[in-house]
């Protein structure tokens, strides 16, 4: 019995060291999206006007005929999509409001919101990332509406992203809103830069995770992973 406990403890310590080491790796690159301080000096409409010209230039350079009926609207369409949709989550004004509720039911177990659809964009290639996010938290007296978790995923996904940072941003935001470290997130996603070009591996997907507070305990973590039973379908 003593051995089992010791082994459990050693496993836990090993995982804590691994998490510690991972944390150190991230010290240099903050979890914040790298934005310049003047990022919001231009209004959305000014950005759309500028990006429209940039897209027009790219298409022109590629030799496309921008007077063609099918192509002439593309620069405007892409500019609007970048600013208002797929990169709309860069703007702090679009962050979902943090309305929380008192945990009236005194539900003290973990709450899992799984299979949250995720569309993001790889910041290295500007190609889509498509997948599922799974979130869990253990309330310390505060709860959020379920759809709030979907909205937070969507907000941080709508940026040029790396999946590791996205996972951490979601956890940190929920830790802040819920006033607890006991938040975890697993993301299982396909990167079209891997699936549709380059190595062209259509079957591979990338799994990232961030386990805060009680989720660093292997038993709690196991419960969460059992709940989400990772066999994401696309």
Residue 127: phi and psi, rounded to 5, are -115, 160
Catalytic status, residue 163: yes
Catalytic status, residue 176: no
Site string for Zn ion, 3-42 (x = CB under 5 A): ----------------------------------------
Site string for Zn ion, 143-182 (x = CB under 5 A): ----------------------------------------
Least distance to Zn ion, CB of residue 167, Å:
16
Cα distance between residue 138 and residue 182, in whole Å: 6
Least distance to Zn ion, CB of residue 90, Å:
18
Applying the rule CB under 5 A, the residues between 102 and 131 that interact with Zn ion are 122, 124-125
- Contacting residues for 145 by C-beta, under 8 A, at least 6 apart: 99, 101
In the list 12, 49, 193, 225, the residue contacting Zn ion (rule: CB under 5 A) is: 193
Catalytic status, residue 173: no
- According to DSSP, the residues that pair with 138 across neighbouring strands are 110
Give the nearer residue to Zn ion in terms of CB position, either 75 or 160: 160
Q: 93: which DSSP letter?
A: G
Least distance to Zn ion, CB of residue 129, Å:
8
Angle at 46 between CA 121 and CA 44, to 5 degrees: 50
| Other beta carbons less than 10 A from residue 25's beta carbon | 10
Q: Which of 122, 161, 169, 173 is catalytic?
A: 122
Catalytic status, residue 26: no
Cα distance between residue 162 and residue 187, in whole Å: 11
β-strand 110-122 against 128-138: which pairing, if any? Answer: antiparallel
Cβ contact 132:228 at 8 Å: no
> What does the binding site for Zn ion look like in residue numbers (CB under 5 A)?
122, 124-125, 193
Residues noted as catalytic: 122-125, 163, 191, 193
């Amino acid at each position: 019995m003593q051995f089992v406990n010791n082994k459990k403890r050693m496993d836990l310590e090993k995982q804590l060291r691994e998490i510690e080491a991972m944390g150190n790796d991230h010290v240099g690159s903050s979890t914040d999206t790298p934005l310049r301080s003047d990022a919001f000096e231009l209004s959305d409409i000014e950005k759309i006007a500028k990006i429209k010209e940039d897209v027009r230039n790219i298409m022109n350079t590629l030799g496309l005929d921008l007077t063609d009926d099918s192509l002439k609207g593309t620069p405007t369409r892409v500019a609007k999509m970048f600013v208002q949709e797929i990169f709309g989550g860069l703007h702090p004004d679009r962050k979902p409001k943090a309305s929380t509720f008192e945990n009236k039911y005194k539900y003290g177990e973990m709450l899992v919101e799984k299979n949250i659809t995720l569309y993001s964009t790889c910041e290295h290639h500007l190609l889509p990332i498509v997948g599922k996010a799974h979130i869990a938290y253990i309330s310390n007296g505060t709860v959020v509406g379920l759809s709030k978790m979907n909205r937070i995923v969507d907000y941080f996904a709508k940026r040029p992203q790396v999946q590791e940072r996205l996972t951490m941003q979601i956890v940190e935001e929920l830790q802040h809103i819920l006033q607890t470290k006991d938040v975890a997130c697993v993301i299982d996603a396909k990167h079209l830069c891997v699936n549709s070009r380059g190595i062209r591996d259509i079957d591979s997907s990338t799994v990232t995770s961030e386990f805060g507070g009680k989720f660093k305990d292997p038993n709690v973590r196991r419960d969460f992973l059992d709940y989400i039973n990772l066999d994401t379908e696309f």
